[in-house]
Amino acid sequence: MPIVKTSLLQDGDTPVAATLNQPYDDVATASATIDNTNTRDNWITRFHFAGNNACNDLYTFKYQGTADFATNSTSYTTINVAGLSEAVLNYAPSTNEILRVESSGIVSACTPTISWDVALPLADRGKPNYYAFQLLLTYNDGGPSATVSLGEWGYSFTTASSVRYVSASAGVMKNTGAPISWQTFQFSTTLRYDGVSGVRTYEKISLQAKVYDAANTLRVSRNNIVAVRAKH
Amino acid sequence: MAKSFIERPLNQFDQVKTDNVRVNLDKHISTFNGELDANNMPVESVSPAKLDLGRVKQADLSGTITKWSSSFPTQAYFHTEANNKTFSTNIYTPIFSVDLDVATWSQGFNKLSLLNSTWQDFPLNFDAREGMLVGCATVDWEHGTQVVSDDAEQALRSRGNDWWTEWGVFVNNVLVCRTGNIYPRRHTTQLPFAVACGSQNVTIDVRVLINNWDYEDSPSPPVATPFRLFSSTIWCRNHYR
């Protein structure tokens, strides 16, 4: 709505009906197109958003039981304890919308056959005890569904040391070989949609896991995915 | 505009002065010329079509350090990341590794850019609007070895409890979130934070505190003490007041 003008009436002028009515007529016409030239800063409150028009939408998956999902796969597998760990989205984002995803869970009693990352005298071997998680977004642009990794994050199997077994020659604590289990995993990231509004449909987000060495078995118990769609 | 009263009441048989007519008219019209507020607008009247789409707030940065932003009517998001995707590696290969026995680092909180200059561009920097900064840093890292397989003694060995790492998030150089000591293993650490802010420039960074000791005497050969980074991400939501 544009700024509404008024006539300058001064003493001695004789107002006529058209002059007096014009501003009111203009308001009546232009008030159908009120915009930010007509409103005060910070006028809006949460109560002004229509009921189906939240600024953010929330999508979740959670498994809160105590059963395990075990894998020794060296390629990513969707965690499946009592059903696949997937948060169903099924919405079409607008340009520059944000998808914010957080995931966490518990790594339960693992079987780390290879818990070391250095084997003397070969020195640093780095990888053998690694395992990793991935958040995978499935989307559809009109044809077959496709996927994109939102991110990967890693951990390592490790075993407990013990002050009871200090090596006399080395002064370095010996290791009991007992796996350190029941630890949490957690990560989060965000994704901006750069395409045209309404073209792409986000279908689901999957939580996946893999191990570097198939001799190790990763077990995951409680886990969850929280996705926030930031719209406005 | 809460409620508007007539400025100069006109009563029957009063003489109408043009000035009175103008003042009353001006007051009425001025409401529509920039003073409409929450009291004039129906609740639940703002539909999606009446809100702007997200806009890119500041120029994106692409490459090994990738940054982007998006601004909405009620909030803005800012994101920076360096990970195996931006470095085109796999999840088992560090995107940087430094030997703490020879690298330059301090006993206080170290900026990642001190350990690797590529991280100079990593901190988030943006002009915030008054409200809250709610965000999270996620770091996938490994400090040294945790379990050593010693073929000579046919035994596994471990680091002691005086070998640890701590991470912190700094907003404008103020520590707003810290992890406490984390003992040796590869670990993905999440650091959520929430702080109030004014309309001001904001820099958000993640830094690392390292406690390390030397394997000078044993075992032989010495075990490497690398500090490895696999990914670092910070996202921040600026929720307007």
Domains by residue range for chain B, with CATH: 1-45 (no CATH), 50-240 (2.60.120.760)
Surface-to-core class of residue B42, CB atoms within 10 Å of its CB (0-12 exposed, 13-18 middle, 19+ buried): exposed
Look at B188 and A185 and tell me if their CB atoms are within 8 Å.
yes
Q: Which pLDDT value is given to residue B52?
A: 82
Say whether B83 and A130 touch across the interface (CB within 8 A): no
Q: Output the pLDDT for position B134.
A: 98
The amino acid present at B69, given as its one-letter code, is: S
- Let me know whether A182 and A212 are in one domain: yes
Check CB contact under 8 Å for A169 and B68. Answer: no
Nearest to A94 among B53, B147, B219 (CB): B53
Q: Which residue on chain A is closest to B42 by alpha carbon?
A: A48
- Residues A62 and A97 placed together within one structural domain of the fold: yes
Query: Cβ of A152 and B160 within 8 Å?
Result: no
Exposure b/e, B179-215, CB count within 10 A at least 16 = b: beeebbbbbbbbbebebebeeeebebbbbbbbebeeb
Q: What spatial distance separates the first Cα and last Cα of chain B, rounded to whole Å? A: 20
Q: Are residues A132 and A171 in the same domain?
A: yes
Please, which residues bridge with residue A39 across strands? B36
Query: B77, A190: Cβ pair inside 8 Å?
Result: yes
CATH number at residue A144: 2.60.120.760
Tokens coding A123: 């020195």
Whether A12 and A68 map to the same domain: the answer is no
The reply to whether A22 and A127 lie within a common domain is: no
Q: Find the domain containing A20 and state its range.
A: 1-43
Q: Are A156 and B219 within 8 A, CB to CB?
A: no
The DSSP letter of residue B34 is: T
> Do A60 and A119 share a domain, yes or no?
yes
pLDDT tens per residue, range B31-45: 888 888 888 888 888
Q: Note the pLDDT of residue A66.
A: 93
A154 with A76, same domain: the answer is yes
Closest Cα in chain A, distance from residue B114 (Å): 23
Pairing of strands A146-156, A130-140: antiparallel
Q: What is the mean pLDDT of chain B?
A: 86
Does a structural domain hold residue A161? yes
Chain B residue numbers touching A123 (CB-CB < 8 A):
221, 223-224
The predicted pLDDT at position A137 comes to 98
- Total domains in chain A come to 2
- Residues of A within 8 A of B36 (CB-CB) are 34, 38-40, 43
Do the domain assignments include residue A86? Answer: yes
Taking only Cα atoms into account, the Rg of chain A, rounded to an integer number of angstroms, comes to 30
Q: Is residue A17 part of a domain?
A: yes
**B6-9, Cβ contacts within 8 angstroms, sequence gap of 24 or more:** none
Within 126-155 of A, beta carbons closer than 8 Å to B belong to 126-127, 129-130, 132-134, 149, 151-155
Among the partner residues A120, A133, A185, nearest to B151 by beta-carbon distance: A120
Give the ipTM of the model, two decimals please. 0.84
Q: Which of residues 85-114 of A touch B (CB under 8 A)?
A: 94-98, 100, 102, 104
In a domain, A50, yes or no: no
Q: pLDDT tens for chain A, 232 residues: list them.
A: 667 777 777 777 887 888 888 888 888 888 788 888 888 888 888 788 887 667 899 999 999 999 999 999 999 999 999 999 999 999 999 999 999 999 999 999 988 887 777 666 555 666 788 999 999 999 999 999 999 999 999 999 887 766 544 444 445 556 666 778 899 999 999 999 999 999 999 999 999 999 999 999 999 999 999 999 999 8
Contact state of A232 with B73 under an 8 Å Cβ cutoff: yes
Cα→Cα distances A107→A176, A219, B177, Å = 20, 6, 24
* Contact assignment for B188 to A187 by CB distance below 8 Å: yes
Tell me if A49 is assigned to some domain. no
**Interchain contact, A190 vs B47, CB within 8 Å:** no
Count CB-CB contacts under 10 A for residue A185: 22
Q: What is the pLDDT of residue A158?
A: 81
Residue of chain A minimizing CA distance to B221: A121
Q: From chain B, pick out residues whose CB is under 8 angstroms from the CB of A160.
A: 158
Distance (Å) from the alpha carbon of B146 to chain A's nearest alpha carbon: 7
Pairing state between β B147-150 and A118-120: parallel
Query: Cβ of A49 and B25 within 8 Å?
Result: no
Rounded to an integer, what distance in angstroms lies between the CA atom of residue B70 and that of residue B58?
Answer: 8
Nearest CA of chain B to the CA of A81: how many Å? 22
Phi, psi (rounded to 5 degrees) for B92: -95, -5
Structure tokens at B47: 């539909």
Of B17-21, B63-67, B150-154, B226-230, the range with the highest mean pLDDT is: B63-67
**Residues A27/A20, Cβ–Cβ less than 8 Å:** no
Name the residue facing A40 among B36, B140, B149 (closest C-beta): B36
Which of B62-76, B92-106, B176-190 comes out lowest in average pLDDT? B92-106
Residue of chain B whose alpha carbon sits nearest to that of A118: B148
The beta strand positions in chain A, using DSSP E, are: 56-63, 69-71, 77-78, 86-91, 98-107, 118-120, 130-140, 146-156, 159-166, 173-179, 183-192, 201-211, 218-230
State the average pLDDT over residues B51-79: 92
Q: Is A48 domain-assigned?
A: no
Give the residue from B212, B139, B66, B146 showing the smallest Cα distance to A118.
B146
Sign of the four-CA dihedral A37, A38, A41, A45: negative
Residues A107 and A195 in one domain: yes
Give domain status of residue A96, yes or no. Answer: yes
* Cα–Cα distance measured from residue B172 to residue B125, given in angstroms and rounded to the nearest whole number: 9
The verdict on A62 touching B (C-beta cutoff 8 Å) is: no
Residues A150 and A207 occupy one common structural domain: yes
Nearest by CB: B53 against A10, A127, A197 = A197
Average pLDDT over residues B82-92: 95
Q: Which amino acid is at A200?
A: R
Nearest by Cα to A194 from B136, B124, B233, B53: B53
In order of A28, A73, A173, the CA distances from A170 in angstroms are 90, 36, 8
Residue from B23, B136, B147 to probe the interface with A (highest A Cβ count within 10 Å): B147
Helix runs in chain B, H state only:
18-32, 112-115
**Model confidence, pTM:** 0.85
Query: What is residue A1's predicted lDDT score, i.e. its pLDDT?
Result: 64
CA R_g for chain B: 29
Same domain, A99 and A121: yes
Q: What's the helix, strand, coil split of chain A in %, to 5?
A: 10, 45, 45
Regarding whether A35 and A66 lie in a shared domain, the answer is: no
- Residues of chain A with C-beta less than 8 angstroms from the C-beta of B44: 47-51
Flag whether residue A115 sits within 8 Å of chain B, measured between CB atoms.
yes
Residue A51 lies in a domain: no
For residue range B163-208, list pLDDT tens digits in order.
789 999 999 999 999 999 998 888 999 999 999 999 999 999 999 9
Same domain, A103 and A199: yes
- Say yes or no for a CB contact (<8 Å) between B44 and A230: no
